[in-house]
Amino acid sequence: MEFRKTAMNWSYLLTSTEGRISRKPFWIALAFLSVIELAAHLALGERWSSIVSLLIAYPEFALFAKRGHDRNVPTWVAGMFIVGATVLNLLVLLDLSGPMENPNTLFYVLAIPVGIVGLILLVDFGFRRSTVGPNQYGPDPLAASR
């Protein structure tokens, strides 16, 4: 088997909201983006970490949208989660959240529901099986291996 056929298409994974992806590329790409965010936080601090998070918000959206499509979940669900996370990052960046050691009420009012939705999506998209067969978003990405 050729390498090109087995390699992931990173451009598609991180920029397109069309189609479906299975759990494996979802986890690999999510781990990659998470390492970037963690490294930025550890090396650069909260404010720069928020900038990096804002820069990778669209790739995260594209990833969650395609994985949601595989679970037959509409794109807007991923969009609402990413919008919430983006607002949180903007609060930190604009210093409207208070210090991270003691964030203000506004931060918690947004962070708690965004965190809950994020955890639900992570469990649903990351651990549950895809919709078997084609759906409105495209063919089953695992159809060839079944």
pLDDT tens for the chain, residues 1 to 146 = 344 444 689 999 999 999 999 999 999 999 999 999 999 999 998 889 999 999 999 999 999 999 999 999 999 999 999 999 999 999 999 999 988 889 999 999 999 999 999 999 999 999 999 999 999 999 999 986 65
pLDDT of residue 100: 83
Q: Exposure of 102 by Cβ count < 10 A (0-12 exposed, 13-18 middle, 19+ buried)?
A: exposed
pTM of the full structure:
0.89
Q: Which residues of 112-126 are buried (b: 16+ CB within 10 A; e: fewer)?
A: eebeeebeebeeebe
pLDDT of residue 127: 97
CB 8 within 8 A of CB 21: no
User: The tokens of 105 are what?
Assistant: 């009420």
pLDDT of residue 7: 65
pLDDT of residue 46: 86
CB 46 within 8 A of CB 100: yes
pLDDT of residue 136: 96
pLDDT of residue 146: 58
pLDDT of residue 111: 96
pLDDT of residue 144: 66
